[in-house]
Structure 1
Amino acid sequence: MERSPDARNRLACTKMTGLLCLVVTVCLLAHGASGQKVKVEPEVSSYPGQTVNLRCEFRDAAGVQLTMVTWIYEPKDGERMNIAVFHPNFEPNYPESPMKGRVSFSDNPPTLTSPSIQITNVRMTDEGKYICEYATYPSGNEQGITYLVMLAKPQNAASTVTVEAGPTKQVVARCESLNGRPAAEISWVTTAKGNATVVSKAGADNTVSVTSEYVLVPTAADNGKDISCVVQHRTQDKPESLAMKLVIQYPPEVSIVGYDNNWYVGRTNVVLTCEAKGNPLPASILWRAMSGEMPDTVQVKDNTLKVLKVDDAVNTTFVCEVKSRIGVGKDQVTVFVREPKVDPSNAGVVAGAVIGSLLALLLVAALIAVLVTRSRRQQQGYRANGGSDMKTRIFGGGKKASKNGTSGGAGTGANNNGPIYVYNESSSHQGLGDKNNHNPSLNIGGRPEGGPTTHSAQDILLSQELDDAERRKFDELEEDERYDHFGGGAPILQLRPHDQDHIMGDYLDDDMESQRDGSVISRTAVYV
């Protein structure tokens, strides 16, 4: 049996290795390409049921005598067979073959320079190598080879496999590309740490089914991770990606949150929460206390434990136990009840309130003291200035002074509203006389006519307005505190309506006003 050029190349490569084999292969291919006189299509693809055309043409027939053309079919696994023969002196011939009745020359009648053929209703089993071979003289046989590739679009599917977390490797996902031609290529995309296996299996009508499985050691952390099966096939415009999520079952994982290590006696409404996750989801949650029965101040609802008021009874260990179909998980927290702490912010508020109250009380006391002092000064109604030329102003005497300074009733032209002046320039401090033994109307600078010795302003004031206790206080005062320094010689005039003499005393009492220097003056007096 004559070997094809490809068969001769493969045989040569089996006898050589490495770089030498590569060099020989390149040389043989170059030689075959340069001497190729039969022009064919290297590959033709088709789907089942279609009609395919296999073209063949002899190049540059000058100096060469073409005798006959034969089409030979060589399946992938099987023997070669002639399927069509043409001789210019005879009718075309179609020997027995799987293509008989479906194969024919494209031109009718065919020619030696262009003996192309066509196959109708192609089948998956028609795939293989088709050789257009010329019998020539004097060079012998010349041939060209076309590969017919039958295509079948596969059916792709993928699914995850539910497994339980454990220490051994398990198949967690499976991907299949069924009844395709040629065989599909399968790959995986995921962050889960594992590897893939691939198995190919011949299917019906010369198709191929490819199955790939993803294997890893499953853990709870892998549950829900993304995983995609990517299928590449010649019949698809782009790779098909089948996305999934891993399903790993594991017992409940439990944790108790909410304890801040600051449970003190009297604290209210503190809550512990039992958080659990697992696959499948937890079926039941149970709270219990290591000390025995739950304290009376504890309320349990679903996954929460609420303490209405912290006391010594909750000084225990609380346990949360969660059950699912495949296992049990639990967690616990130990509570240490502390003594109540004073909130620094509250202490500051209390201290601020106390200090504020004290300051307010002090302010009120100071205000009262000022008012009392002012009231007493108004009641005393005097200030005097001591010295050799002592001048005393007396307000509110309630008596009328005559124009010439004599006592008695109201005289002609008397100023009943003016202040009473007593000048005692020569005499020293007089003793205090009888309270009712002084003349209410005094001259300025002398004795009253027919009356007793003139009393000083101090005597008049103390005798008329002060009691014994107040008099003693007055005597204890320093000299400069008893009198005002009044240096002017002009009299002070006080304007007062003539018809208000009967209310002179009350008017003058209300008319007095204390000054910053300690003196008391009239609000309505006009000083000249």
Structure 2
Amino acid sequence: MPLVLGADMQGPEAWLLLLLLLASLAGRCPAGELETPELVTVVLGQDARLPCLYRGGPDEQVAQVAWARADAAEGARELALLHAQYGLHVGPAYEGRVERPPPRGPLDGAVLLRNAVQADEGEYECRVSTFPAGSFQARLRLRVLVPPLPSLNPGPALEEGQGLTLAASCTAEGSPAPNVTWDTEVKGTMSSRTFEHSRSAAVTSEFRLVPSRSMNGRPLTCVVSHPGLLQDQRITHILQVAYLAEASVRGLEDQKLWQIGREGTTLKCLSEGQPPPTYNWTRLDGPLPSGVRVEGDTLGFPPLTAEHSGVYVCHVSNDLSWREAQVTVEVLDPAEATGKQVDLVSASVVVVGVIAGLLLCLLVVVVVLMSRYHRRKARQMTQKYEEELTLTRENSIRRLHSHHSDPRSQPEESVGLRAEGHPDSLKDNSSCSVMSEEPEGRSYSTLTTVREIETQTELLAPSSGCERAEGEEDRDEGIKQAMSHFVQENGTLRAKPTGNGIYINGRGHLV
């Protein structure tokens, strides 16, 4: 049965009576529960939804929902009152900022706090009066995120050659404390400090480096992250490092351009720096010739004459320092330039000729040394060969003499040698043997073949003409000595009786 208030009971008295009535009925019905999160987070300036949902029986009804700010210092402060019959009532401190969000269910006591500010952060209490279950209450905490507004402050002017110097500092303040880092390819060090305030915290990060010209124009980015930001905030600073590079002059690479009568010749001064440098041209041995134009870093010449020869100086300076470079200009007559080219070619030819001559001499020396070396080796080999032949010949003669003079000779030894073509020829490749028998009936075989004697004599033949003649005489002498051991009889040669025979097998072959 729904509760109906009388027409004469309105205002605070009616609300108080209703609360007392509901409280008296709370112990008679089973208790329901409230669904309320412990923490609600909202970004500064956005709307905060404060949920409070009652879970009860199907016959239970929510009579009203009361919202209050629970402040320990100031006590409870009314936020809003939702009544099933009279609707929404907003406290004076929040007039115009509290609404009832859709969907508006009979058991849903959520409210919407518009345009949350940092002062709204704190604890809120939801008290639900139901019929017939009674009253229920729950608390939640509202957290207002204050996104940081980062700022970047460049450090003092950077100059090449300085030590560790502050390049920039980045500061961000918010609630809770933001995170500040650096994104850069420049090598350096960073440090951070945090300053706590009553409702926020400020973080300052510094980036320090050792300035060099390679850092000039490079980006240095401060990156700030915070839960109240949808994405990180980035602030980029372009480094400016003051420096001045060494100066140099270009334009004298081709000497053909610097001849009398040439037009359009220029000298260009090369340098760079921060801030951008200025250029100035002077002549070391006097003022600039008439007609010479100075256009920043370029020095332009009119048609060249002999008076344009001289030493020119380029001065480069900026706020940091100054540099200079000088070159010597020599304007040549075309004929002199050709003569110099001819002299250069002649000198090159002479150098090449000298080198070729040295190489040729070296080659001749190598050939002579190699020839002498091979000649000496051939002479040594010839001497060794002749010594071996002499020893061989002496051994052969000694062996033949031993056959002739041995007293142990047999009474009858004969060797038949078949002569093919000429009876005196000893160069037949066939071996001749004569079988003879002793009176006792023993048979003897051949002596050493004539081919062996011939081979021994042929080894004595040298290659040269004079030596060949001597060799032939020696060979004839050897043949004569060999023939002295044989007796020619009926076209055959019989060995003279000798006692130097040796039996080498059972058949009695005499060697």
**TM-score (norm: length of structure 2):** 0.41
**TM-score (norm: length of structure 1):** 0.40
